[in-house]
Amino acid sequence: MGLLIFFSTMYLLLLKAGILGILLSPQVLDGKEQYEGHQVLEVVPQNEVQVTCLKDICRSSLLDLWIPLEPDGIRVRTKVHVRIPSTALQSVKEDLLRCSLDFKILIENVKDIVGRIKENKNVRHKRSLENYNYEQYHPMEEIYSWITQMADNNKDFITQHSLGETYELRPMQYLKISQPSSQPKKIVWMDCGIHAREWIAPAFCQWFVKEIVQSCQSDPKMKKILSNVDVYVLPVLNIDGYTYTWTHERLWRKSRSKYHNGTCYGVDLNRNFDVNWCVEGSSTNCSSNAFCGDSPASEPETKALVNFVEKWKSDIICYLSIHSYSQLILTAYGYTTELPKNYNETVKVAQMAASELKKIHGTDYLAGTFAEQLYKASGTSQDWLCNQGIDFSYTLELRDNGTNQFILPEDQIRPTCEETMAAVMTIIEYINDKYFPNVASVSSVSLWLFTFTALQIVLCGLY
Ligand SMILES: [Zn+2]
């Protein structure tokens, strides 16, 4: 009994110090991410007692929650996805059964699917832009080189810029796609990869640029849009984290800034913006995947985007932040269930986008606010931009819905990008028509005048 009390006390002390979380981290186990024997489970609590029980299990073992991100976000009859390290698997399953919580194994062994993509990486070598494979995931060096080649090969309308530097001093390169125009233009901003492990997001940003380049001369819709708006694309926002997912830990989410004298790393950059900062769905504990940082915009990556938006906000008409997974098109807000003033219009556009997306491969997406459809979260880039006056501020959560989660196989890159392209273009086209109605309205007014005049002539003739 005395021994039990001793171990319980030690356990609580370790928990308090955040040390248990570090022990459970695969990167600390052997210096290299392995995930051998880790499983991802789906649990759906059916009542409040089960919700409390599940929250306790997640908290006491400091498990890697994927949906929601924090135990506080667990709700009745809402699915929970959680990664369990092999060392904790048996005890967690026993705890779940004790609480009468049924569970489904979504991923039998995380190592197996992580390994598949890592093996592919080793056989790659440098490619020219013509041979660039958009149906593979690329490490950051290849994306940097792709950015430079994309700008070099399309000098007349694509330029390469730096938004700032990451914590580890990597340049945050973005592309500006801008057709020459004598009229003042507006800005559509898209960033991908604010969360390191969501590899499909940077893959989409690259696909998106490639599609624009291929269709800007031939597609009248694209031509019209680019005559009014400049499109800015930041393929990877959290570059340090993304690099780390290739070198150390595939399922790393946050940035890589050092906290507490190097005992703890990384801020969830999508909880670091100055909007109800660190209140809902975020954590002050650096070991948490939803750590909000020391203060709003404490991180250089956040600050870089904030500086850009503060400078250009009167010109930005649309903000698109690409994530995975869950198949959602999300409008503001995430930090509150209150609705922004233009909610009806933004959600209508999101529904239109989901319906266009479905036409491509039949994939179902839901549209709605971040807080309704996902979970409450403070300090997101989407909410901060919305409150800066950018009315059309969206988060897209791409495939899938729980089968492969963050480790989406490469054979799904093409269909995911094709359907996402349809959704994104629906949003951009709507906003373009709203802000630049001249062409459409002039032609419809002319048509109306023509009809009216013709009718008068006919009527006059009759009389
Ligand atoms: Zn994300």
Compute the distance from residue 242 Cα to the ligand 1 centre, in Å. Answer: 12
| Average pLDDT rounded to a whole number, residues 377-399 | 97
168 labelled catalytic? no
| Average pLDDT rounded to a whole number, residues 326-339 | 96
pLDDT at 442 over 50: no
Kindly report the pTM of this predicted structure: 0.86
Q: Tell me what percent of the residues of the chain surpass a pLDDT of 90.
A: 78
> What pLDDT score was predicted for residue 334?
96
pLDDT at 284 over 60: yes
> What pLDDT score was predicted for residue 28?
39
How far, in Å, CA of 146 to CA of 112, rounded?
29
**Is 135-427 CATH 3.30.565.10?**
no
Span 119-152, pLDDT tens digits = 555 545 566 888 999 999 999 999 999 999 999 9
> What pLDDT score was predicted for residue 61?
76
Compute the distance from residue 446 Cα to the ligand 1 centre, in Å. Answer: 46
| Average pLDDT rounded to a whole number, residues 291-319 | 98
Compute the distance from residue 223 Cα to the ligand 1 centre, in Å. Answer: 31
Delimit the domains of the chain by residue range.
Answer: 33-112, 135-427
Q: Which residues keep their CB under 5 angstroms from ion ligand 1?
A: 195, 323
Span 143-187, pLDDT tens digits = 999 999 999 999 999 999 999 999 999 999 999 999 999 999 999
Span 310-322, pLDDT tens digits = 999 999 999 999 9
| Average pLDDT rounded to a whole number, residues 292-318 | 98
Q: Which of 249, 397, 419, 429 is catalytic?
A: 397
**Is 33-112 CATH 3.30.70.920?**
no
| Average pLDDT rounded to a whole number, residues 209-238 | 95
